[in-house]
Structure 1
């Protein structure tokens, strides 16, 4: 998996108008909604057909492949692409909210207006929508650090749950029929 600074630099070179965390969230939302991480994934995720395909072996290609593999990992090895834990709380919480904004937007593009969500999936999506609308606050203490860690883990699990509902579930049902 490329690092956040690598993804941000590659995104700027590719002409993308979002940060690395939001881009990764968008890619994850696209995949969770049933989309594919082909060479045109940035155009699909950003809903901009004018964007070029990713270069084979480049940072964005590696990001797409690694993220798709992580979301399919049966050992739940999926991670959010966020700033280092040493970064200020404000920056980390802001990046998490941006990740959620990217996820929610691209999930809607891939899954459509009536995705096949379980009750838990519908609740998880509603929570991600609320987090996508949140704004970071200055300051914070150890309790806020703990809360952010718990929210990050919830978001990670929610993304996997939605991927199971909309990507894995239909794929497995198709094999059974």
Structure 2
């Protein structure tokens, strides 16, 4: 069974504009995935206020783009099929825009992860390295000079980020959940 698809980048952007949230869709998805991967307590109604650190925010509209973003993200991260994907600008956008989206996604992830996991999460050595690498990527300053090489590099870095997120989610959420079932 295929996991639910993420809403389109443009759908999330439109809903964020309507809410006057002033946040990039990729950064929001990164924040949500960081929060989920860090083991933050959440539910379908409260996640947006938690991730935005604003308890006064209303829950996303049922079946709206933000609600579907939450549903798809939680299911993809929990999927044993490794179908997790990043919400980035679409492939028909320039590589520079997609690269900037990846950096925003990474910054959002780090913020959400820190919010949920705290200062010293119980990470494996491999996850500690992945988190440090994600921080380096998010702090990168990109230059775009060779479109073909830039395209390939973006694909490789995006795949690294995707796998690193699944590893961190496994350490902080799936591992503890599995241990609770065994006890």
**Structure 2 segments unaligned to the other structure (5+ residues):** 1-5
| Contact 2:60/2:67 (8 A) holds in 1 | yes
| Contact 1:6/1:59 (8 A) holds in 2 | yes
Local SS of the residue matching 1:70: helix
TM-score, with normalisation over the residues of structure 1?
0.95
Deviation at 1:148, TM superposition (A): 1.1
Deviation at 1:109, TM superposition (A): 0.5
Local SS of the residue matching 2:15: helix
Answering whether residue 125 of structure 2 is matched by residue 125 of structure 1, we say no
Deviation at 1:140, TM superposition (A): 2.7
Local SS of the residue matching 1:44: helix
Counterpart of 1:155? 161
User: What are the equivalent positions in structure 2 for 1:38-117 lying under 5 Å apart?
Assistant: 38-117=44-123
**Distance in 2 between the 1:174 and 1:14 partners?**
39
| Contact 2:85/2:162 (8 A) holds in 1 | yes
| Contact 2:35/2:116 (8 A) holds in 1 | yes
Once the two structures are superposed, residues 139-173 of structure 1 have per-residue CA deviations (whole angstroms, 9 ceiling, x without a partner) of: 33312211111000000000000000001111111
| Contact 2:127/2:167 (8 A) holds in 1 | yes
* Residue of structure 2 aligned with 1:146, choices 143, 152, 157: 152
Counterpart of 1:27? 32
Question: RMSD value over aligned CA atoms?
Answer: 1.2
Deviation at 1:37, TM superposition (A): 4.4
Counterpart of 2:3? none
Answering whether residue 12 of structure 2 is matched by residue 13 of structure 1, we say no
TM-score, with normalisation over the residues of structure 2?
0.92
**Distance in 2 between the 1:34 and 1:60 partners?**
20
Once the two structures are superposed, residues 57-87 of structure 1 have per-residue CA deviations (whole angstroms, 9 ceiling, x without a partner) of: 1111111001100111111111100112221
**Structure 1 segments unaligned to the other structure (5+ residues):** none
| Contact 2:144/2:150 (8 A) holds in 1 | no
| Contact 1:83/1:91 (8 A) holds in 2 | yes
